[in-house]
Each structure stands twice: as structure tokens, then as C-alpha cells.
Amino acid sequence: MDTHVVIMAGGIGSRLWPVSTPEKPKQFIDVLGIGKTLIQMTVERFLPVCNIGNFWVVTSEAYVDMVKEQLPLIPADHILAEPVARNTAPCIAYACWKIAAVNPNANVVVTPADALVINVEKFAALIRKALNFTNDTDKIVTVGIEPSRPDTGYGYICAEEKCPDEVVKVRGFKEKPDLATANGYLAAGNYFWNAGIFIWNCSTIISEMREHAPGIADTMDRIAASFGTWKEEERLHELFPTCEKISIDYAVMEKSSKIHVIASDLGWSDLGSFSSIKAHIPMPDEDPVPDGGAARALDGDNRVIGRDIRVFGCEGCLVHAEGTRTVIVSGLKDYIIAVQGQDVLVCPISEEQRIKEYSAPENK
């Protein structure tokens, strides 16, 4: 089986400002203080199922050098630079048309660059099972996460039945629910968080895009005509920005009749908030932070990331200040204190969903 892994690494991680910024977003940062960036952890997670020479990264032109620096073993011509951001459908199409030019029947896994998976061995086994399924069929598999709580921040996948660790048909995709609906999903048992990880054969996804997103498919055909020639970059810059700005969920997944899900409890998190980062910094009696990491758990349910952070009379706080000198915090309860360069955030954890709003340029 010829397997390829496509890592989507173009996001800006605005909910983690000032640690994550458009100049250096969260996928290129050691947000957990463990000595590895999120994109490096993503590559490690997929090495058991794919040779490093078959990894691809789709990212912004502004981040290409960071990808090369952090992932030096990925072939340089497998780092695909989008001239503009057009959401996940054009991003994925570009990578799959490139892979199809090498092998039109390759099996492909598409993954975000910035998530965390704790149960990595179980995850690799799950991906292998999905790859075997897509290798033998013209179906698409998405990875579902067993929900541990009625979370309103994730989209959900409704499966025909609850059958952990097995490939089952998808009944439908659900938008981020309100709390009452999320509680109903949890009780039903056949609803799973949508991790945004997809497995398919190149020929399958190209066929589905021709049917459900013909405009994007036509544009990719026109770009692909220049692959391997001196005109490729010129055609990419000319045509890629004309693609509809649309997610793969809206473009294909919600329209196709070929969608299946394989779901499990994987210890997954999208690390899209400071509270999720805080939750994944281990206590001293749990798995220790690797050498070179800067994360620590302190008394009072406080978590800190940084070399010289001093906390007094605090409870339930996260202090994220790696790269700074000394940070002293006193008398706060359930607060986020984040420092990066000359930018500082002090915010109640209960208000963290507004960080994106607070840090918007118009609020400067």
C-alpha cells in the first residue's frame, strides 16, 4: 500500500494570542512546554503508518521556512505553499492532485498540524484500519473522537451505530451544538467529535470533488497541467486564489454518500484554548515532562510554562511565559497570564473565548 500523509499547517491560532500570532502560529510553537512543537508531534504520530518521504505539508508561503527548519526530513518539494488561504477544500485538493500526479491510486491521510493525541499507539492502529478499508473500497473515512463531555465547541459526526474502533457509515454531520443538544448527543452514544482527520484513496477524493466541488476540481486540473514545469508557480499564483473559499466538510463531506467514521477514545484535543493547554500539562505523579521542557504543575491547581515563573497565593491559573525572564503572579484565581515578546494577556479563564475578539487589530 502506497500511503501518504498530508498535514494542513496554514492556520493562525488566534485563540491563543499572544503565544500564537499570525507571524508564528501555534502549530510551530511548543505550546505545551515539552520541547516539541505541535507540527513535530503530528509527524511523530504518523511515522508508524507512513515513511517520512511520503509526508506533505500544505502551508502559507510565510511559513515555508519554519516548516523546513522544524521538519528537515520532509522533502522540500513536498512543502506546498498556498499563495492565499482558501480554507481546507482547496488546500486538500492541491495536495491530493500533487500526490495523484505521482500515484493516482495512493492512499492518503489528511490531518491538521495542531492537535494533540495522547493514545498514540491506539491512534496508529486506528489509522491503519481505516487505510486498509479505503485501499479496498471507494469510500472515505473520517476519524471520530468519543466525547468525554457535552462540549459545545466541536462539530459532531452522527454514525449509523456505535461500534468503537470499527468503520461504520456516517448518518450526518452536525454543527457546534448548544448545551442541551450536546447533552443529547452524549446520551445517544453514536455522536462523535469531528477531529478533522480524513482517510481516502486519491482516486476517490478526486472523483468526489469533481461531483460535489467541480469549480475547485477544474481549477486543480488547470494548475496540474503545469506540475513539474517552470510555469507551475506562476499558474498556482494565478489560479489558486480563484478557488471558492470553503471547508472540505461543506464542499464534500456533507454531500457525499461515501462517508464512514472510525471512532475511539484517543486522548485527543485540538488545543484551541488556554484551558485545554492547562488540562494537558501533567501533574508530577503523571508522565513527566521530557528533558528540555518548561512545563510544571504547582500546588493550587496552577500550571506554568517558562523558566522562572513564581506564583504566590494563586489557584487554578495558567502562566504561559516561555522565552521571558522572570514572571511573578500573586493573588489570582482561575486566570490566564500569557507573555510573548512585548505582548501580555491577563484574562479570566471564563472569558477565554473572547481572546480572539480582544486581540483583533481593530481593538488595538
d(CA 169, CA 139): 10
| Average pLDDT of the segment spanning 3-16 | 90
Q: Are 172 and 192 in contact (CB under 8 A)?
A: no
Kindly state the helix (H) or strand (E) to which residue 109 belongs, with its residue range.
Answer: strand 107-112
Model confidence band, residue 293 (pLDDT cutoffs 50, 70, 90): low
pLDDT in tens, 214-235: 999 999 999 999 998 999 999 9
All structural domains of the chain with their residue ranges: 3-269, 290-363
d(CA 320, CA 9): 22
DSSP 193-227: EEEEEEEEEHHHHHHHHHHH-HHHHHHHHHHHTTT
- pLDDT for the residue numbered 364: 59
Where helices occur in 244-291 by DSSP H, the ranges are 248, 274-279
Strand 55-60 and strand 335-340: the pairing is: unpaired
Quick one: CA dihedral 49, 53, 59, 64, positive or negative?
A: positive
Grid coordinates 474502533 are at which residue? 165
Pick from 132, 105, 133, 128: which is nearest to 205 by CA?
Answer: 105
pLDDT in tens, 152-207: 888 899 999 888 899 999 999 988 888 999 999 998 989 999 999 999 999 999 99
Cell of 201: 484513496
d(CA 362, CA 48): 45
Q: Are 348 and 330 in contact (CB under 8 A)?
A: no
For 5-9, 272-276, 287-291, 347-351, which range has the lowest pLDDT when averaged over its residues? Answer: 287-291
pLDDT in tens, 138-166: 999 999 999 888 888 888 999 998 888 99
> Distances in Å between the alpha carbon of 230 and those of 57, 81, 199?
21, 16, 32
> Distances in Å between the alpha carbon of 206 and those of 15, 72, 137, 220, 227?
33, 29, 14, 10, 17
Q: What is the CATH number of domain 3-269?
A: 3.90.550.10
> Distances in Å between the alpha carbon of 337 and those of 33, 150, 358?
15, 27, 14
